[in-house]
Structure 1
Amino acid sequence: MAEITRVPIQPIAKGSLTKLWLGVAAAIALGAGIAWAAVPAGVTVDTVQAGTGVNPGESDVLFVKYTGKLADGTVFDEWAPPPIPVEGFFPEGSPLFMGNVVPGFREGAMKMQKGGKYVMEIPASKAYGDAPPPGSQVPANADLTFDVELIDFMSEEDFQRRLQALQQVMQMQQERQGGAPGGQPGGAMPPSAQPVPMPQPAPPPQQ
């Protein structure tokens, strides 16, 4: 019977084991780096002035002052004061429904706090992508930047209750003006007393 030649396992030289583990760790780190680099850039929110309290929920109504800009600094959208007085009913700023904005704006807003000021960077993949709104200044596949001040936020139910209360008060004021609604010939209401329509901002915020 032929004798099997035995190949002994050579002992690992002193210090080689440490080098082996370092090599394995480096390979793992390199693989993780490649995997991380393959992940698309996400929404970033830089705090200019810290706010306080809890963060908005995904179905809340925000009241914000904002400016939307392209990468070259072109302003494509910004907030405007409401056309009628709403003091005592709604906070200052433009009302934005979280369900009506692009995913990136909603994602970033959920990291904000009341009273805070922020700079939000939204990649095109989480903004309009290759299909911006018709007539918009936003080109296809454009990254967006928003300067945002979160004045306040509330639930949509709370917003609806306040809206109804405001409309009732305005209706009472119209009736006190006498005769036809609004005191205008033929029952026409003056522009400043028209019932408040439900805001429908286009995503990202467009009034």
Structure 2
Amino acid sequence: MNKVTLTLVVSLFAATAMAQTKKAPVKKAVAPPSVSMAPVLKNSLDSASYSFGIMMGNNLKGAGITSLNYSLLNKALTEAFKNEKAVLSTDEAQKAISNFFQESSKKQHAASIAAGKAFFEKNKQVAGVVTTASGLQYQVITPGTGAKPGPTASVKVHYKGTLLDGTQFDSSYDRGEATPLSVNNVIPGWTEGLQLMPTGAKYKFFVPYALAYGERAAGPQIPAYSDLIFEIELISIEAK
């Protein structure tokens, strides 16, 4: 008799006995909450080993990791210290960790990613908004009449940058001075967008996160997976 069958028989027997005796139902005993036993640290090796676990755990939690397969983690640590052959090479392990962080980060920012996608789908229907093959969107505020910069040109611009919700994170206008920069030394959305602008023009760019800072944050004001909006005024193309 297997465990499932035995459990079923016991349950039926108990139910029959209850029906025959017609006794009042007995409240089930509530098991006391399990108490985690504190580790016994007998020496400095024990203390250091436990401390490594604390530090690793806190660092991983700080990076957004909520759980791991702890038995495999312990196995891999043991194999490494014993110089045993690992299932994955160093390159494969690094790739697996990178993929895991990307998946974890995407789950964490899923709502923001979905909101950005919905914004761009709606925004491309707005009159005057142009969508390029890369997904960059722009709107001409003031047309220019001068030359357009090349892919390695040095330029001076005035600009204002905001998140999709309108939160401003940077502005050269507030600083009162145009910013010099190289077209090929900025985020991909700017590199593409600046080359579309005649000198003297002012454009509004809607930059998907993949053409901005991607999966990483950019300081405390720009979270990971942030779609950005820039108003850019091309002041001049600088002589080499």
Q: Normalising by the residue count of structure 2, what TM-score does the alignment of the two structures yield?
A: 0.42
